[in-house]
Amino acid sequence: MSRILGLPVWMGIIADALGNGVFMKRPLNNYSALLDLEARRVAALWKGAVVGLAVGIVIVLYRFVLSKMEELALRYYAFFLAHPAMLPLLFIGLGGLGYVVGFLVDKHRQISGSGIPQTKGIMLGHFNFPWFGTLWAKFLGGALAILAGLSVGREGPSIQLGASVAEGIGQKISSTNTERKYIIASGASAGLSAAFNAPLAGVIFAMEEIFKYLSPVVLLFTTVASVVASFVARMAFGSEPLFSFPIKSPLPLSAYWMVCLLGLVLGGAGALYNLTLLKTQKLYKKIESLRFRVMMPFLLAAAVGLLFPVALGGGHGVLEHIHNSEPFLTLLLILVVKFAFSMLSFGSGAPGGIFFPLLILGTLMGALFGQTAIAWFGLDASLFNNLVILAMAGYFAAIVRAPLTGTVLLLEMTGSFDNLFSLVLIALIASTTADMLKSAPIYDALLKNLLNDQEGFEIPDEGKKITMETVVHFGAHAAGKLVSELALPQDCLLIAVRREGKDIIPKGSTMLRANDALVFLISAHTEAKQREAISTLTENA
């Protein structure tokens, strides 16, 4: 089989081993495996490596296909621009392409948008999608969206693709339901790592956006998977940073008031982005047919590609305009058109992410602010690129509400640590500003919308019991309480307490402490509701 696929021998061995059942599927509630922490750490090494390798290969292929699709899109737009008599064929072709993608989204609802809210929903127990259907449909739908020139990115789909690959592997090699969730999270981390050549950002994203707490086993799974996936991507595409903005010197302390001002601006802009995107989705839902809804940005892409091609795709073409000598009004026009086209592309539900387009919008805001600071505030022109990089991190933090991920992501994508302190500062200011404006984190808001429209997403009630693990936060309601004092939800049983590397069999008289890891036996059908109820006890409000 591996020779037919053209895989290297060492990759074929792993594929054949998985296919022939060498890694046999194990019971998902193997309590001895669940409570053996050392064995779980050892397992995390090889299981994380297997996931990272598989995800790395898939994302490398995805990146390669998308790059070819983007090149092809630019070619055919240039052709039709040179042959205006054939323009009707462009609109017919893009309309047909949009209908095909709409058909895919209609049949596989989980591939809509970036895929990150769906991945979070799986981790929280809201959804249970078929991993292979998600994998091929998302891959194809994302590629066709880029072929049309939609303003969407590869990063969100890469995370969902990674999670899907990991889920398929997890069904073979996971020993508990909790470990299966760790494997899925490691696949998501590996997907981001391979998409951006940013292994640390992949790890922190899992902690900050998916789990929202630190676990040694989760850290090990995600780190190994992310590093291996990044290695595969670097072997294929090289180790050069994705953004090339040379930094001559860090910002002087005298310019930090500008960083604070820029952070406030980006916080407000991020809140506006989230509000506009959610409103755009709401407007699109007035079109009852999902297939025709997805067609809309494909038809619009024809006009954008002919009149303003720089706004097409993720935004790589915009980077050529990010310099101090570019006219201010040109940058402003690109920002407005790119913002509008991004809203219309993503809001339709077409498969594609917002990571790269929002970073591009951040570069434009940074460039506009940089030109203003140089012309009016006396900033040294050599510091222009500093503000561009800071704006990307701040805008990302304001929209996603993940300041650490934004900081590390920009450090890895630019390859420069000169802005470390100012990156942290602007990410915190922008994120806090968006919070104060009552703007919900974009992926939380998108997940909430999915939950309000759960048709086709329901988990069947098979009477299945699964295990879940969580950590008691400092200041949480459960900290300092006896087990007998906890108002646990129905069909929920506390089966173990892990404290300082030791496992305790809980009794009613067992007092819980902050930083205890709690293992519960819960119903799979009501997992999401039980997780929410347990989180009110274990998390610090």
Query: Of 134-138, 193-197, 216-220, 535-539, where does the model show the most confidence?
Result: 134-138
Give Cα 224 distance to the centre of its chain: 18
Q: Which of these ranges, 133-137, 431-435, 475-479, has the smallest mean pLDDT?
A: 475-479
The owner of tokens 């809201």 is 126
The owner of tokens 């021998």 is 9
Please tell me the distance from the alpha carbon of residue 341 to that of residue 352, in angstroms, as a whole number. Answer: 13
Residue-wise pLDDT for 431-440, tens only, equals 999 999 999 9
Please tell me the distance from the alpha carbon of residue 1 to that of residue 9, in angstroms, as a whole number. Answer: 11
The three-point CA angle 516-522-451 to 5° equals 100
Residue-wise pLDDT for 3-14, tens only, equals 334 444 434 434
Residue-wise pLDDT for 69-109, tens only, equals 999 998 999 999 899 899 999 999 999 999 999 999 999 99
Residue-wise pLDDT for 244-273, tens only, equals 777 888 888 889 999 999 999 999 999 999
pLDDT band at 214, cuts 50/70/90?
A: low
Please indicate whether residue 30 or residue 226 has the higher confidence score (pLDDT). 226
Amino acid at 419: N
Structure tokens at 446: 């998108």
| Ramachandran sector of residue 52 (left: φ over 0; alpha: ψ -120 to 50; beta: rest) | alpha
pLDDT the model gives residue 59: 96
Please indicate whether residue 451 or residue 169 has the higher confidence score (pLDDT). 169
Helix or strand or coil: residue 189?
helix
| Cross-strand partners of 471 | 517
Residue-wise pLDDT for 302-313, tens only, equals 999 999 999 998
Phi, psi of 470 (to 5 degrees): -145, 170
Amino acid at 477: H
Comparing C-alpha atoms, which of 211, 179, 176, 206 is closest to residue 190? 206
Comparing C-alpha atoms, which of 59, 62, 31, 336 is closest to residue 187? 59
pLDDT the model gives residue 32: 52
pLDDT the model gives residue 44: 75
Comparing C-alpha atoms, which of 42, 50, 46 is closest to residue 217? 42
The three-point CA angle 190-524-25 to 5° equals 55
| Cross-strand partners of 519 | 469, 496
- Does 213 have pLDDT greater than 70? no
pLDDT the model gives residue 462: 53
Burial class (CB in 10 A: 0-12, 13-18, 19+), 74: middle
Other CB atoms within 10 Å distance of the CB of residue 371: 21
Mean pLDDT, residues 342-361 taken together = 92
Comparing C-alpha atoms, which of 407, 457, 446 is closest to residue 114? 446
- Quote the longest CA-to-CA distance of the chain: 82
Per DSSP, 207 falls in state I
Please tell me the distance from the alpha carbon of residue 533 to that of residue 393, in angstroms, as a whole number. Answer: 34
What's the alpha-carbon Rg for the chain, to the nearest Å? 24
pLDDT the model gives residue 295: 92
Please tell me the distance from the alpha carbon of residue 223 to that of residue 229, in angstroms, as a whole number. Answer: 10
pLDDT the model gives residue 22: 38
Mean pLDDT, residues 230-234 taken together = 94
Structure tokens at 41: 């750490």
Structure tokens at 490: 């129905």
pLDDT band at 497, cuts 50/70/90?
A: confident
The pTM is what? 0.83
**Beta carbons of 517 and 215 less than 8 angstroms apart:** yes
State the chain's mean pLDDT as an integer: 85
**Alpha-carbon torsion (410, 411, 416, 419), positive or negative:** positive
Amino acid at 86: M
Structure tokens at 272: 């506006």
pLDDT band at 173, cuts 50/70/90?
A: confident
Mean pLDDT, residues 95-124 taken together = 91
Please tell me the distance from the alpha carbon of residue 199 to that of residue 212, in angstroms, as a whole number. Answer: 18
Distances (CA, A) of 319 to 79, 259, 326, 334: 23, 22, 11, 11
pLDDT the model gives residue 181: 86
Please tell me the distance from the alpha carbon of residue 330 to that of residue 339, in angstroms, as a whole number. Answer: 14
Per DSSP, 527 falls in state H
| Cross-strand partners of 153 | 353
User: What is the separation, in whole angstroms, between the first and last Cα of the chain?
Assistant: 52
Q: Who contacts 254 (Cβ-Cβ below 8 Å, separation ≥6)?
A: none
Express as a percent the part of the chain with pLDDT over 70.
89
Domains along the chain?
2-237 (1.10.3080.10), 253-452 (1.10.3080.10), 465-538 (3.30.70.1450)
pLDDT the model gives residue 6: 41
Q: Which H/E stretch holds residue 520? A: strand 517-523
Query: Of 44-53, 241-250, 428-437, where does the model show the most confidence?
Result: 428-437
Helix or strand or coil: residue 242?
coil
Q: Who contacts 250 (Cβ-Cβ below 8 Å, separation ≥6)?
A: 386, 418, 419, 421, 422
- Does 25 have pLDDT greater than 80? no
Mean pLDDT, residues 411-433 taken together = 88
Per DSSP, 239 falls in state S
Mean pLDDT, residues 53-69 taken together = 95
**Beta carbons of 362 and 387 less than 8 angstroms apart:** no
pLDDT the model gives residue 37: 53
Comparing C-alpha atoms, which of 447, 129, 146, 128 is closest to residue 281? 447
Distances (CA, A) of 83 to 176, 236, 267, 300, 392: 60, 37, 44, 19, 38
pLDDT the model gives residue 159: 93
Comparing C-alpha atoms, which of 68, 354, 45, 53 is closest to residue 233? 53
